[in-house]
Structure 1
């Protein structure tokens, strides 16, 4: 082109014009990748414990249209999870200094002030995306935003009872919203889906303190009063008893066959026994992953 205009390719002006886009594009790409990594790190530890179980729940509960519906359901779940983690981590960054130093705030990738600003702004895309699907999905999103506020800003997570109750409702919101987005009828859950959501919420509300064993040291620093801190032995016994009770109860409710029943009870026994006898932070972390797998099968 330069030669057609009578300007040689080695002209300094041409060289600078050829290089200039790279000096703009490369820094832009690096910045974009850094931002995406920061967003990912906010939710990294919750993919196994929230995104995967909720996605499996939605895929098996909703009359799924196609693979695109699952991807949309995953994004809806992630966006709302992102809203929650922004609130949670901007207020609990001192705990993360102990438990999860690789998260964006303790690692210095983003300031507390910017995280809090992003936390409130994140509500807008959650509402807009949910309204796109249906008024019912929007109501679920609004309920989730209120639960997030109560759990974090109102510090109701500091008490073990309200913490468990809010966790149960939070799981119900995740499962209901993800199922609505994944299904053919985004405006309504069928009776079996509603029952599954209620069971899921009740199951998590009564056993969700399984997530607190691995975080005892950080929770002490944050001033929380979780069941593993108040009743270190009794809380572990309760996990075993409650998980086994749910395993047998759901076996009867869902009328599962002998193979699935055996898997359900065996996995429940394994998870309950691990919490009962293995008390290290690493063991509790692995037990919690198994707990989430067991809950997916149970629901």
Structure 2
């Protein structure tokens, strides 16, 4: 007969694993919809676009059969680098004060982990993540660049300096995440083309001019932290206009840039209009959170344009 100690061992292991996964999710949940989801879409759609964006060509069905099995690797690239950013972002005392107001479910304000425990974990996780990305995913340079941007944003307080500096760091990070996602999606020895790089730069410009949509929901915590976010510097109403106008303009620009037909362009154009209207006419924490989620979905639809135009741009 098995002893009580033997039977309790699997339960203890399952509980530890459950606690770890819960902690991991709580650390990254707020940014998963901003980075992991859209950037993964960018990578897979880049691979499916074939010679339009990457040095790999062929029928879309063949490209899909090669790219979709690599989907878990693209997610791994994004989430492994995101966890480092989120650990750095939630480690500092001012971050804990901000999260207590804006995101009280996060592990530090809930008392599930301490700032010193985060620091200790980062000592091991940073080299491990860089090694994983370099030796296994073959995007070590991209991962290292993301670590540098994480340091600039958090420890050097680039995210608090001003909304222009903050948006610039985030925009560059998006560009690196997106290029890395494409590279992982297509695998070696293939690479992203010059057109693909230009498209990643355009996307970063879109992020730079509209990312402040996330600040609309975080004003209370940003004010307590002393962060110079767009609503706190320009005022709430002006900040909403800085989201609404660029979103409409970029929706029109990408339609022109890709010479998109009606079927390809209509979804992102319609959602861009909804984001613009909501940013101006709906306020409050609940409404601003929904507007931000729709903005994340809008960026994902933008990323689908190249593959749509390359294969289904007949109407």
Contact 1:62 1:193 in 2 (8 A): no
Q: Please say if residues 152 and 158 of structure 2, whose CA atoms lie closer than 8 Å, have aligned partners that are also in contact.
A: yes
Q: What SS does the aligned partner of 2:108 have? A: coil
User: Per the alignment, do residues 59 and 134 of structure 1 end up closer, same or farther by CA in structure 2, a change over 3 Å counting?
Assistant: closer
In the alignment, structure 1 residue 203 sits paired with structure 2 residue 206: yes
- 2:257 aligns with 253
1:178 CA displacement: 1.6
- Per the alignment, residue 157 of structure 2 pairs with 155
The unaligned stretches of length 5 or more in structure 2 are 49-62, 304-315
Report the counterpart of residue 59 of structure 1 in structure 2.
44
Aligned residue in 1 for 2:72: 71
TM-score w.r.t. length of structure 2:
0.85
Structure 2 residue corresponding to 1:113, chosen from 99, 111, 116:
116
SS in 2 for 1:122: helix
CA distance in 2, matches of 1:56, 1:43: 18
Moved more, 99-108 or 257-266: 257-266
1:209–1:70 CA distance, 2 compared to 1 (3 A): same
Counterpart in 2 of 1:143? Answer: 145
- The equivalent position to 1:181 in structure 2, one of 176, 181, 184, is 184
SS in 1 for 2:3: helix
Q: Distance in 2 between matches of 1:223 and 1:78?
A: 28
Give the 3 Å change call, closer, same or farther, for CA 263–35 of structure 1 in structure 2: closer
1:237 paired residue among 231, 234, 241 = 241
Alignment of 1:1-299 (within 5 A): 15=1, 18-63=3-48, 65-91=66-92, 92-133=95-136, 137-158=139-160, 159-185=162-188, 188-231=191-234, 232-299=236-303
Q: 1:294: Cα distance to partner?
A: 1.1
Instruction: Give the whole-Å Cα distance in 1 for the aligned partners of 2:6 and 2:182.
Output: 45
C-alpha deviations, 1:80-130, integer Å up to 9, x for none?
010000000112111111111111111111111001222332211221111
Contact persistence 2:73–2:137 (CA under 8 A): no
CA–CA distance in structure 2, aligned partners of residues 134 and 261 of structure 1: 33
The RMSD of aligned alpha carbons is 1.7
Deviation >6 Å, runs of 4+: none
SS in 2 for 1:170: helix
Find the aligned partners of 1:262 and 1:88 in 2 and give their Cα distance.
Answer: 37
Preserved contact between residue 67 and residue 186 of structure 2 (Cα < 8 Å): no
Q: Secondary structure at the match of 1:188?
A: coil
Aligned length: 283
- Larger Rg: 1 or 2? 1
Structure 1 residue 181: Cα displacement: 1.0
Partners of 1:87 and 1:53 in 2: how far apart? 22
Q: Deviations over 1:177-219 (max 9, x none)?
A: 1211111336632233212211111110111111100000010
Distance 1:295 1:134 in 2: 25
Pair 187,110 (structure 1): closer, same or farther in 2 beyond 3 Å: farther
Alpha carbons 2:44, 2:67 under 8 Å: kept: no
1:290 to partner: Cα distance: 0.7
Shift of the alpha carbon at 1:134? 6.5
Distance 2:32 2:242 in 1: 26
Matched residue SS, 1:106: helix
Q: 2 CA distance for matches of 1:51 and 1:229?
A: 28
Residue 218 of structure 2 aligns to a residue whose secondary structure is helix
Give the whole-Å Cα distance in 2 for the aligned partners of 1:28 and 1:295: 39
2:98 and 2:224 in contact (8 A); partners too: yes
Q: CA deviation at 1:45?
A: 2.1
